[in-house]
Amino acid sequence: MKPAFAVLMAALLVFLPQAAVRDPAVVEFAAGTIDLQEWMPIWSDEFSGSEIDRRRWTFDIGNGFTTEDGIYIWGWGNNELQFYTARPENARISNGHLVIEARRELYEGLPYTSAKLKTSGLFSMKYGKVEIRARVPAGKGLWPALWMLPEQNRYGTWAASGEIDIMEGHGSQPEIISGAIHYGGPWPENTYTVEEYRFPDGSTAGDFHVYTLEWESDELRWYVDGVLYHTQTDWYSRGPGASVNHPYPAPFDQPFYLIMNLAVGGTFDGNPDDTTPFPAIMEVDYVRVYRLHR
């Protein structure tokens, strides 16, 4: 537990529901600037142990996935070049931080390795607030992301069931990040809405910043260090070839799980070049999730 929060922990647990206290992933922090009259802490990872907590996180392994039709999608559908592993070389706890390290090395026939952690099957949320304090690396072809996918594809395959990007970083443009939602019909009938945030005063994504998503039934809001930069209220979900949408607020009316990863190469920032530094390090100080009291 972070020292700054340890003193307040006992008092906070008094007000948590008993079911939450028995949960092995019980929240382990007291909110600093969060209004506890409005937001109830429900889940967190402060990365204060010696190893990644497998009660909270699982890993994607490999360089792609198999669709429901049995088709293997190479490069995670984005032409990415990394092989994701669960090795400590690629994901570990160090000095109270989660470290995700992308390495230039030949592994399973691919030129890079990295890691992708997710809470699928362990924790998901429908509405609430997510706060993640992190810093991410710069370099052409690096693609760090903090994002969310639905626990079940209730409305169909991607992106009919939605995707929420809390933060994505272009390695070649460390002065900006973006937040987005993906929705519409199944690929290729999907669409997205995105907004960029430019860091002030010479700061970059390589510095620690707090990335926040506030998600209510009819509105999503994105913040960096408490500054609101994007609000979204308009989206839809539609079945393949359908002329009528699913009732609003589909697809963002179902539980989503958390994902943190550092991709290498692909469609978002292109492929690395001779200037890209390796190993590339992404550090996460904490992940904290709240629900609204009201």
Q: Give yes or no for residue 19 having a pLDDT over 50.
A: no
Residue listed under structure tokens 């392994």: 61
Q: Is 109 helix (H, G, I), strand (E, B) or coil?
A: coil
> Measuring CA to CA, how many Å separate 167 from each of 63, 106, 148?
22, 28, 10
Residue type, 16: L
29-62: per-residue pLDDT in tens?
A: 444 456 667 899 999 999 999 999 999 999 999 9
DSSP state of 34: S
Is residue 146 domain-resident?
yes
User: Rounded to an integer, what distance in angstroms lies between the CA atom of residue 166 and that of residue 221?
Assistant: 10
User: Rounded to an integer, what distance in angstroms lies between the CA atom of residue 155 and that of residue 134?
Assistant: 32
Q: Kindly state the tokens that stand for 285.
A: 């100080």
Chain mean pLDDT for the chain:
90
Report the domain count for the chain. 1
Is residue 246 domain-resident?
yes
Is residue 35 domain-resident?
no
Is residue 4 domain-resident?
no
User: Rounded to an integer, what distance in angstroms lies between the CA atom of residue 124 and that of residue 137?
Assistant: 27
Length of the chain: 294
Q: Is 251 helix (H, G, I), strand (E, B) or coil?
A: coil
User: Rounded to an integer, what distance in angstroms lies between the CA atom of residue 258 and that of residue 56?
Assistant: 10
Q: Give yes or no for residue 144 having a pLDDT over 50.
A: yes
Is residue 135 domain-resident?
yes
pLDDT value of position 261? 98
Is residue 21 domain-resident?
no
User: Rounded to an integer, what distance in angstroms lies between the CA atom of residue 136 and that of residue 185?
Assistant: 31
Residue type, 246: H
237-263: per-residue pLDDT in tens?
A: 999 889 999 999 999 999 999 999 999
pLDDT value of position 237? 98
- The boundaries of the domain holding residue 192 are 57-292
Q: Report how far apart the first and last C-alpha atoms of the chain are (Å, whole number).
A: 28
Residue 190 phi, psi dihedral angles, 5° rounding:
-90, 170
**Cα 62-64-69 angle, rounded to 5 deg:** 130
Known catalytic residues are 163, 168
pLDDT value of position 68? 82
**Domain containing residue 279: CATH number:** 2.60.120.200
192-222: per-residue pLDDT in tens?
A: 999 999 999 999 999 999 999 999 999 999 9
Please name which of 17, 258, 16 lies closest in space to residue 125, comparing C-alpha atoms: 258
Q: Give yes or no for residue 294 having a pLDDT over 70.
A: no
Is residue 8 domain-resident?
no
Is residue 38 domain-resident?
no
